[in-house]
């Protein structure tokens, strides 16, 4: 797989700009050449001299600067890189990118590029949650822009919440995972299905059995397999998060429906079962609402089909690679290894869900288990887990 060798880093004006100095050093540790554009407001937070000294390259800032243009024109700057990283990205640059405004060098380069763009937002929590920001982000995701973060935590302005720029190590890891796989499309001749989200088993017209799964990890996997070229179908239970852009989407409610669709989609090369399937279903769903009687009731439940096990153990049309998850609250490795054998899948990504951890969060901490490999992955965003898994899948098929 080709490696990213050149990054164009756009530093916009936010207090988190100081973190971009460390980011330049860590990217250079990876033998990545970093060229920077420092916006006018960015230069209020870090100086061109620091950026130039750390990157070892000329710092560009002004669209109408003759010296800059003669060194390297803005079109060339946007094309002669493997990747553009906007870190920190303010609400303002996100808005300009969404609407295609070009009123300075940074926004003009972003319009002129044909390269992958990654945005690392950093802003006040209220600005992040503002509907305008969220709208702009959805537009950019549709346009193929990737995002890292933001993280939750204390802010420079004294508030707490989502909006902090992701940690340097996480940004570097995400970039290494991404590499040029997006451009190479190493999975372009393969097909994939991904199950995600919870399933919902109706008790009566207004009540159901379900669980806390947000669908984030499965959606990120479907997006990343699609981005790497796989013909991808996402089979999803009910969730409240934006759907990935690109994969074919099939929405289901129950485990039975999820199984039916999964089996219909076979044969595929890759199956990733990330759904938190309800283990039990109600034997007879009531057509009318169950009334209170003053006494307790008991529900007649039976076990749902195990989708992962069914497809792993098929005699015909078994996907070449079947990946499952293991949500454990104790004895993580031992239980996950037992699950790998019992279900017959090839890989298991195990996570510790004790005390409600992982469900709905943006980060995940994975233990990767196969018959001959056991790895503990660092805590990273669900997007980074998805890219790391997709790269492993790509290596598996190219081997």
| Residues belonging to the active site | 157
Among the listed residues 310, 311, 308, 243, the one whose alpha carbon sits nearest the alpha carbon of residue 277: 308
Q: Which two tokens stand for residue 142?
A: 């549709």
Residue closer to ligand CTP (CB basis): 216 or 339: 339
Do β-strands 33-38 and 151-154 pair in parallel, antiparallel, or remain unpaired?
unpaired
Shortest gap between Cβ of 167 and ligand CTP (angstroms)? 29
Among the listed residues 99, 89, 101, the one whose alpha carbon sits nearest the alpha carbon of residue 140: 99
Question: What is residue 263's DSSP assignment?
Answer: H
CA pair distance 308, 154, nearest whole angstrom: 40
Residue closer to ligand CTP (CB basis): 246 or 344: 344
Residue closer to ligand CTP (CB basis): 71 or 313: 313
User: Residue 201 in contact with residue 211, Cβ under 8 Å?
Assistant: no
CA pair distance 147, 324, nearest whole angstrom: 26
What is the secondary structure of 185-238 as a DSSP string?
-TTTT-EEEEEESB--EEEETTEEE-----SHHHHHHHHHHHHTT-EEEEEE-S
Residue closer to ligand CTP (CB basis): 11 or 194: 194
Among the listed residues 166, 178, 4, 10, the one whose alpha carbon sits nearest the alpha carbon of residue 85: 10
Taking the alpha carbons at both ends of the chain, their separation in whole angstroms is 12
Residue closer to ligand CTP (CB basis): 203 or 307: 307
Shortest gap between Cβ of 331 and ligand CTP (angstroms)? 11
Question: What is residue 354's DSSP assignment?
Answer: G
Residue closer to ligand CTP (CB basis): 48 or 305: 305
Cα angle 307, 320, 332 (rounded to 5 degrees) comes to 55
Shortest gap between Cβ of 279 and ligand CTP (angstroms)? 5
Beta bridge partners of 250: 235
Interface with ligand CTP (CB under 6 A):
195, 255, 273, 275, 277, 279, 304, 306-308, 324-327, 339
Beta bridge partners of 31: none
Neighbours of 239 (CB within 10 A): 17
Shortest gap between Cβ of 67 and ligand CTP (angstroms)? 57
Largest CA distance in the chain: 84
User: Residue 278 in contact with residue 305, Cβ under 8 Å?
Assistant: no
Shortest gap between Cβ of 273 and ligand CTP (angstroms)? 4
């Amino acid at each position: 797989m080709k490696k990213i060798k050149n990054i164009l880093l756009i530093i916009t004006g936010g207090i988190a700009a100081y973190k971009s100095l460390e980011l330049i050093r860590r990217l250079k540790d990876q033998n990545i050449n970093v060229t920077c554009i420092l916006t006018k407001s960015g230069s209020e937070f870090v100086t061109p001299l620091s950026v130039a000294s750390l990157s070892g390259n000329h710092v560009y800032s002004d669209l109408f600067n003759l010296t800059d243009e003669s060194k390297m024109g803005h079109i060339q700057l946007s094309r002669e890189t493997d990747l553009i990283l906007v870190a920190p990205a303010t609400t303002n640059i996100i808005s300009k990118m969404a609407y295609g405004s070009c009123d300075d060098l940074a926004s003009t380069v972003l319009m002129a590029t044909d390269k992958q763009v990654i945005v690392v937002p950093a802003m006040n929590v209220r600005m992040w949650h503002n509907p305008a920001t969220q709208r702009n982000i959805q537009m950019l995701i549709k346009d193929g822009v990737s995002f890292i973060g933001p993280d939750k935590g204390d802010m420079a302005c004294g508030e707490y919440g989502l909006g902090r720029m992701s940690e340097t190590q996480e940004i570097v890891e995400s970039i290494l995972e991404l590499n040029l796989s997006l451009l190479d499309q190493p999975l372009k001749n393969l097909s994939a299905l991904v199950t995600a989200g919870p399933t919902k088993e109706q008790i009566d017209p207004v009540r159901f059995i379900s669980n806390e799964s947000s669908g984030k990890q499965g959606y990120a996997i479907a997006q990343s397999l699609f981005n790497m070229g796989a013909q991808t179908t996402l089979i999803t239970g009910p969730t409240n998060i934006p759907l990935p852009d690109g994969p074919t989407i099939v929405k289901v409610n129950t485990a039975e429906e999820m199984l039916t669709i999964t089996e219909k989609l076979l044969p595929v090369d890759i199956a990733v079962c990330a759904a938190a399937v309800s283990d039990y279903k109600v034997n007879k769903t009531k057509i009318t609402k169950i009334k209170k009687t003053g006494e307790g009731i008991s529900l007649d439940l039976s076990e749902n089909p195990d989708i992962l096990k069914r497809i792993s153990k098929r005699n015909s049309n078994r996907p070449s690679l079947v990946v499952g998850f293991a949500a454990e609250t104790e004895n993580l490795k031992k239980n996950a290894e037992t699950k790998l054998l019992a279900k017959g899948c090839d890989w298991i990504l195990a996570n510790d869900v004790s005390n409600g951890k992982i469900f709905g969060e943006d980060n995940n901490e994975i233990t990767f288990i196969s018959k001959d490999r056991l790895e503990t992955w660092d805590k990273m965003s669900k997007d980074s887990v998805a890219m790391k898994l997709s790269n492993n899948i790509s290596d598996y098929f190219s081997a």
